[in-house]
Structure 1
Amino acid sequence: MTPAGQRDEGVVRNMSPRSGARRSPAGTASCARHRVVACAVLLVLALPAADCRYTNDPANNPAPGMSAGASQQSTADSVITLPGNAAAESLVLAPDGALWVAERDVGGVARIDPAGTITQHRLSIGWDHLSGIARAGDGTVWFITTSHIGRLRPDGRITRANFGYPGGITVGPDGAAWFTTSSGSDPAIGRADAATGELSMVAVLPSAIGLPGGITTGPDHAMWFSQVAKEQGSSDGIGRLSIEGVYTSWPLPPGTAPRSITVGPDGALWFAQRGGIGRITVRGEVSYFPVPQDERPNCVVAGPEGAVWFTTATKVGRLTPSGDVTLWSVPDAVQLSALVAVPGGGFWLTDSKADVVRRFSPPR
């Protein structure tokens, strides 16, 4: 048993993934079949979630590892303030209408219910910045920090494990959480089993591509992700990994710096990149749409009107199927990081430097 006042951190074994990569000749898409690594890591360190009320008094801030309810705010409001210098980074919209928000700087996951009540699930002291979340069909919220994969269960229990340096996370067609990460100096794709919480390294990727970033499940039931070259002047790329472990990569011009990636209304993969939005079909055909005014897209999602929508630092953009780009300024925005479409119209946006979630509807 663990002595009173101490947490059982569990044992995390060092990983030594092996890869049987075979590189294709230059100028063609490269494919490699990788073995699933036999050793695995279990998500450990269960943290109970207690409820307490949040007020504006800093002395009443909840201790890490606890949940806090906030004073109710109406979701009809255009701005919902998150307590405690949260730095809202990313968000997902659940079928019940609740928003789940990754709070980077306080190390927590917040839930905003349709009535506007905020519940913050704080993580233990010493956690790295929390950057990305993904919600599974059973209500589980998976999340990543600088060096951890974590899981917030519907009952409020939090588990986590150190697993490389994650860059993005999504829920795959098998119900598991898939994530980009690194294994030592090599980029890799990992998987967290939905039933057991077991983490495994599915594939170690060629080291030249650098750390992969955003990841999503494609219409072909494979994992698609962005790749940024490790060395300046080398090609960036978009990668694909089947759930059987077959890796394929398509190069992008140096300096493209792809980030967020999503499935568009047309069944292609769309990604935010430096100076514009990129598109790649499941056959590997790549096209590019520049964004005016030297804006830098941060996050891209599928939205209404058969268009893809994206954020820049202070604007929301729409890219139509015909290639037309429109930008709208968001009042009082400081650093917009993510957006999600709301059924019935409009979007929720995270503003990482203003500690708020904003509701925005483009003017018509």
Structure 2
Amino acid sequence: MLETTLLRRSGRRLVTASVGALIAMTAAVGPARADVGDVTEYPITTRADSGPAGITSGPDHALWFAESGAGRIGRMAVDGTVTDFPTSGPDTGPTEITQGPDRALWFTEVTAGRIGRITTSGRLAEFRIPTADSGPSGIAPGPDRALWFTEANGNKIGRVTTSGRFSEYPVPTPNAYPYSIAAGGDGALWFTELGSGKIGRITTSGRITEFRLPGDSDFPDDIAAGPGGMWITASGSNSVDRISSTGRVTRFALPDPDSLPSGITRGPDGRIWYTDQSGRIGRISANGRVATFPVPGGADKVPFRLTTGPDRGVWFTELIGNALGRVQALPR
């Protein structure tokens, strides 16, 4: 499977499994699994092995997440109540998810080679990508009111309108494995190339520019807009990086030598937050000052992706822990 291949290249893990019946269901919320320091965990009570991957805030003031192990899309209210909805099959491999310009949730189906759309009421539509076995991974809304996504196997950047019309743009570097994508403040989309150690920039007209990270063993993973440019997690360098609109890279080393930085987002406090698959959530200021928050159970949970929640907390997925976590993002 694509996710396993890509994450093996960067020394990470991804577990997928097919579990559960294909029906939408709601479970009563239980108590938070654990409170340690600033981290609170909420179990995904609808599935035993959901494999939560991507996460985003929805227009209904809830958290929406991709259940990569169950072929479902989950919704969690800020009190921990979980509802989930099936895609067209248990092995579609939903991976990343974002809110679209039409107030629906859009997601990638890495195994099925499709882009999915689901409304907050659970109405599903799926659109097949023209390139077969393209392996869609990251997805983000663009300034042109379309959804932009990466095709890791197809080595392309894709664009789909809210009506399901596709365009595709080849990445110049062969076997680049474009992975994550985010809109920048310059009107373009920026993406990571997990296989080449580069960062790409694509305009809405399809023009691509690539910038190489300084290390030989970098595996750029996730990307987000933040103070001073685009911020990137790069596991091979044990750092969080920032790249300017001209391609200048500033590297901020992480204090823990065993760090495996993965997801990244701008928090409600204006700082950059990242997940560390070694079992921490990190926060970094514009000048590189880092604070970390331990996740109960550490690396066994595999903190993966994160987003700012509707309650001004920072919420994250536990890829193996079958839970969502929350960190209170108060100024310190």
User: Scaled by the length of structure 2, what TM-score is found?
Assistant: 0.81
Matched with 1:272 is 233
Mapped to 1, the partners of 2:84 and 2:98 lie a distance apart of: 16
Matched with 1:34 is none
Tell me, which stretches of 5 or more residues in structure 1 are unaligned? 1-60, 230-234
Mapped to 2, the partners of 1:76 and 1:63 lie a distance apart of: 24
Matched with 1:198 is 165
Structure 1, residues 129-176: CA drift from partner, whole Å, max 9, x if none? 221111114321111122222111344222223431112111111221
The answer to whether 1:285 aligns with 2:248 is yes
Structure 1, residues 251-275: CA drift from partner, whole Å, max 9, x if none? 12322110100001x2410000021
How many residues were matched structurally?
A: 293
Match of 1:262 among 220, 224, 234: 224
Matched with 1:88 is 52
Mapped to 1, the partners of 2:124 and 2:290 lie a distance apart of: 41
Paired AA for residue 222 in structure 2: S
Query: Are the equivalent residues in 1 in contact too, given 2:60–2:120 (CA < 8 A)?
Result: no
Query: Are the equivalent residues in 1 in contact too, given 2:58–2:64 (CA < 8 A)?
Result: yes
What secondary structure is seen at the aligned counterpart in 1 of 2:56?
A: strand
Paired AA for residue 135 in structure 2: Y
Matched with 1:11 is none
More divergent stretch after superposition (301-310 vs 351-360): 301-310
Mapped to 2, the partners of 1:320 and 1:211 lie a distance apart of: 29
What secondary structure is seen at the aligned counterpart in 1 of 2:174?
A: helix
Query: Are the equivalent residues in 2 in contact too, given 1:186–1:205 (CA < 8 A)?
Result: no
Matched with 1:152 is 118
More divergent stretch after superposition (106-115 vs 241-250): 106-115
Q: How far did residue 73 of structure 1 move?
A: 4.7
Tell me, which stretches of 5 or more residues in structure 2 are unaligned? 1-18, 35-39
The answer to whether 1:225 aligns with 2:191 is yes
Q: How far did residue 192 of structure 1 move?
A: 1.2
Any residues of structure 2 matched to 1:65-144 within 5 Å, and which? 66-73=23-30, 78-82=40-44, 83-84=46-47, 85-125=49-89, 127-144=91-108
Q: How far did residue 343 of structure 1 move?
A: 5.8
Q: Identify if the C-alpha distance between structure 1 residues 126 and 353 changes in structure 2 by more than 3 Å, giving closer, same or farther.
A: closer
What secondary structure is seen at the aligned counterpart in 2 of 1:167?
A: strand
Match of 1:178 among 148, 151, 172: 148
Query: Are the equivalent residues in 1 in contact too, given 2:54–2:65 (CA < 8 A)?
Result: yes
Query: Are the equivalent residues in 2 in contact too, given 1:241–1:247 (CA < 8 A)?
Result: yes
Query: Are the equivalent residues in 2 in contact too, given 1:101–1:133 (CA < 8 A)?
Result: yes
What percent of counterpart residues are identical?
29
Structure 1, residues 91-122: CA drift from partner, whole Å, max 9, x if none? 11124420101111011111123454322011
Matched with 2:13 is none
Q: Identify if the C-alpha distance between structure 1 residues 299 and 193 changes in structure 2 by more than 3 Å, giving closer, same or farther.
A: same
Q: How far did residue 236 of structure 1 move?
A: 1.6
Structure 1, residues 310-358: CA drift from partner, whole Å, max 9, x if none? 1102101111122122222122342111222346653212111111112
Matched with 1:45 is none
What secondary structure is seen at the aligned counterpart in 2 of 1:306?
A: coil
Query: Are the equivalent residues in 2 in contact too, given 1:218–1:263 (CA < 8 A)?
Result: yes
Query: Are the equivalent residues in 1 in contact too, given 2:70–2:91 (CA < 8 A)?
Result: no
Matched with 1:215 is 181
Mapped to 2, the partners of 1:343 and 1:111 lie a distance apart of: 13
Query: Are the equivalent residues in 1 in contact too, given 2:284–2:291 (CA < 8 A)?
Result: yes
User: Scaled by the length of structure 1, what TM-score is found?
Assistant: 0.74
What secondary structure is seen at the aligned counterpart in 2 of 1:259?
A: strand
Mapped to 1, the partners of 2:200 and 2:102 lie a distance apart of: 28
Paired AA for residue 288 in structure 1: R
Aligned-pair Cα RMSD in Å: 2.4
Q: Identify if the C-alpha distance between structure 1 residues 192 and 97 changes in structure 2 by more than 3 Å, giving closer, same or farther.
A: same
Query: Are the equivalent residues in 1 in contact too, given 2:64–2:76 (CA < 8 A)?
Result: yes
Matched with 2:135 is 165
Which aligned runs of 4 or more in structure 1 are off by greater than 4 angstroms? 73-77
Q: Identify if the C-alpha distance between structure 1 residues 362 and 170 changes in structure 2 by more than 3 Å, giving closer, same or farther.
A: closer
Matched with 2:9 is none
Q: Identify if the C-alpha distance between structure 1 residues 62 and 227 changes in structure 2 by more than 3 Å, giving closer, same or farther.
A: closer
User: If you compute each CA radius of gyration, which structure gives the higher value, 1 or 2?
Assistant: 1
What secondary structure is seen at the aligned counterpart in 2 of 1:124?
A: coil
Structure 1, residues 4-53: CA drift from partner, whole Å, max 9, x if none? xxxxxxxxxxxxxxxxxxxxxxxxxxxxxxxxxxxxxxxxxxxxxxxxxx
Query: Are the equivalent residues in 2 in contact too, given 1:190–1:200 (CA < 8 A)?
Result: yes
Query: Are the equivalent residues in 2 in contact too, given 1:186–1:207 (CA < 8 A)?
Result: no
